[in-house]
Amino acid sequence: MHYVTLKPDQKFTVGKIVCVGRNYVKHIEEMVAERTKEPVLFLKPPTALANNPEQIELPSFSNEIHHEVELALLVGRTAKKADAADWRQYIAGVGLALDLTARDVQARAKEKGLPWAVAKGFDQSCPVTDFVPLDDAGDIHKKELILTVNEEKRQHGNTAHMIFTAGILLAYISSVFTLEAGDLILTGTPAGVGQLRPGDRVQAELRGIAGLDFRITG
Ligand code: MG
Residues of 157-166 as b/e, b for ≥16 C-beta within 10 angstroms? bebebbbbbb
Give the C-alpha separation, 139 to 145, whole Å. Answer: 14
Query: Is pLDDT of 1 > 90?
Result: no
**Contact predicate 144/207, CB 8 Å:** yes
Rounded to the nearest whole angstrom, what is the distance from the C-alpha of residue 20 to the centroid of ligand 1? 6
pLDDT in tens, 40-80: 999 999 999 999 999 999 999 999 999 999 999 999 999 99
Rounded to the nearest whole angstrom, what is the distance from the C-alpha of residue 67 to the centroid of ligand 1? 9
Q: What is the mean pLDDT of residues 168-196?
A: 98
Report pLDDT for 123.
98
Query: Is pLDDT of 202 > 90?
Result: yes
Rounded to the nearest whole angstrom, what is the distance from the C-alpha of residue 182 to the centroid of ligand 1? 19
Angle (CA) 170 104 96, round 5°: 35
The mean-pLDDT minimum among 32-41, 76-85, 112-121 falls in 32-41
Domain range annotation of the chain: 3-217
Rounded to the nearest whole angstrom, what is the distance from the C-alpha of residue 8 to the centroid of ligand 1? 27
Report pLDDT for 218.
84
pLDDT in tens, 127-166: 999 999 999 999 999 999 999 999 999 999 999 999 999 9
Q: How confident is the model at residue 28 (pLDDT cuts 50, 70, 90)?
A: very high
Report pLDDT for 79.
98
Rounded to the nearest whole angstrom, what is the distance from the C-alpha of residue 180 to the centroid of ligand 1? 21
CATH topology of domain 3-217: Fumarylacetoacetate hydrolase; domain 2 (3.90.850)
